[in-house]
Amino acid sequence: MDYRPEEYNKFYIVQALFKLMAEYEYGKISVIDIVNKAGVSRATFYRNFKKKEDVISYYFTHHTEEFALNNRYYPRCKKDYIKTVTNVMTAFKQQMQPLKLIKKARLEYVYLTI
């Protein structure tokens, strides 16, 4: 995943949240826990996000945009369609752990409403 320099704090926050979600129930994770794990301040968190769910939304929005940029062509033949489907399945496979964590926390609505 590629982040622009101004997005590094967001990246650290996203990574911290998912690491915490692997260890604890989502409802028991506070913003303080996230910023401590990410090594950023609360002000930095709130400068970028309003609430924890926004971190997850950002994660999926970022990956969706990145996927779209990397797959900017229209399939014209069977081989192109196969490549597109393969790219989609590869992207899902790469996102398996975050998807499992979100399912475990029952937060499917966050990425389904993006």
Query: What's the pLDDT at 51?
Result: 95
**Residue labelled with tokens 């409802």:** 27
**Whether this model's pTM surpasses 0.85:** no
Q: CA-CA distance, 70 to 7, in Å (whole number)?
A: 19
pLDDT in tens, 35-79: 999 999 999 999 999 999 999 999 988 888 888 787 777 778 888
Query: What's the pLDDT at 3?
Result: 67
Q: CA-CA distance, 46 to 42, in Å (whole number)?
A: 6
Round the average pLDDT of the chain to a whole number and report it: 87
Query: What's the pLDDT at 78?
Result: 87
Q: Are 32 and 23 in contact (CB under 8 A)?
A: no
Mean pLDDT of 76-99: 85
**Top-confidence residue, 4 or 98:** 98
Q: Are 1 and 66 in contact (CB under 8 A)?
A: yes
Q: CA-CA distance, 10 to 38, in Å (whole number)?
A: 9
Q: CA-CA distance, 45 to 16, in Å (whole number)?
A: 11
What are the distances in angstroms from CA 95 to CA 5, 19, 85, 102, 106? 23, 14, 15, 11, 16
